[in-house]
Amino acid sequence: MTPILQHLVEMTGHRDHLRLEASVLTTLLQLGRNMEVRALEFFFSDSQVMVRPRSWSHRGEVISSECEASVDPARGVLTNMPELTECLKEHCEVALRSSPNSHTLWLPVWIEDKAYACLEVTQNKPFTRRERDVIMGVFQVYQNYQNLLDYSERDALTGLLNRKTFEEHFARITTPSNSEFDQLDTGADTPQQWLAVIDIDHFKQVNDVYGHLYGDEVLILVANLLRSSFRAQDRVFRFGGEEFVVLLRSATLEHAAQAFERFRFTVQEHMFPQIGGITVSIGFTSTMDGAPVEVLGRADQALYYAKENGRNQVRYYDLMLSRGEVKSQITHGEIELF
């Protein structure tokens, strides 16, 4: 079996978006010695379409935002890539930019009529017809398989990850690497993983007064704000209805609280068409101790307290527990779960 076929077999063996993405980039890297590849994601921020790398090559290896050590790559405005901007506008399969020492192909990943991501291939010489044909062939296999995963793992309305993918992502970010075992006794200044449950305040009134069409638009716009407010390595889920969950990676308590407070303020200041202003309530906690259902339960307790005590606020479970505002739940170690 040729190396390219071996990589295609490996690529279609993955059941996870980021691993599939890293695998297709690795496959493309086999096509040329001086090639660089990236996977870009699109999102809205301040009414502009933004773009940022989610996975990329470095010295022949693929680095993913899944890696704990990676920093969030700088975001940019999509209009700085006019060829790609025009391609997305015209719903094209490929965009090309050529200069004397750099030639770039962009391959948008279309899901129905929307493109949430794009593969970028760059090399220092023009692409031959054969190279383009092989790249397009690999890409089409990837896109077909990506669409199958999206159908089962993405929320159809917002494009966010759905609830059934949560436990797998939770397990991945809470399993310490070898270099992290000596950091398990974490303090407030040590980066940790965090989980937040976010709920739109008075969402039922939005549906009752304006109708479900406007309610759906609110959910889509809140999802867009979530994408722009958090980093590529963080994970955002729609759990159903007006409830969202964020897994925030490698942040201190101070930075986590700031990130959730910043998102709350962003929603508060955003003007939603027809409806005007809405707010969200947020409860969050560390993922350091407990099974997914327990961590979710703690964040949910903090969220419930926020909604019962004024809404439009962020509450941290451990601080509330120390103040006696919530009571510790029974853990799975104290009862037998069925």
Residue 71 sits in a domain of what CATH number?
3.30.450.40
Q: Specify whether 179 is located in the same domain as 123.
A: no
Q: Specify whether 65 is located in the same domain as 121.
A: yes
Q: How many other CB atoms are there within 10 angstroms of residue 27's CB atom?
A: 24
E strands, the chain, where? 36-45, 48-58, 61-64, 76-77, 95-99, 102-111, 114-123, 161-162, 192-200, 235-240, 243-251, 280-286, 314-316
Q: How many domains does the chain have?
A: 2
pLDDT for 74: 64
pTM of the model: 0.72
Q: Specify whether 10 is located in the same domain as 103.
A: yes
Boundary-marking domain end, from 120, 153, 186: 153
- The residue-averaged pLDDT of 88-112 equals 92
Boundary-marking domain end, from 122, 153, 184: 153
49-63, 146-160, 229-243, 249-263: range with lowest mean pLDDT: 146-160
More confident residue, 303 or 10: 303
pLDDT of 160 > 80? The answer is yes
pLDDT band at 297 (very low <50, low <70, confident <90, very high): very high
pLDDT for 176: 55
| Average model confidence (pLDDT) across the chain | 85
Q: Specify whether 148 is located in the same domain as 212.
A: no
Q: Specify whether 237 is located in the same domain as 214.
A: yes
pLDDT of 37 > 90? The answer is yes
- The residue-averaged pLDDT of 27-42 equals 88
21, 66, 217, 242: the active-site residue: 242
What range does the domain containing 228 cover? 161-323
pLDDT of 65 > 60? The answer is yes
Q: Specify whether 278 is located in the same domain as 201.
A: yes
Determine whether 242 is an active site residue.
Answer: yes
More confident residue, 330 or 105: 105
Cα–Cα separations (whole angstroms), residue 208 to 212, 213, 215, 239: 8, 11, 9, 21
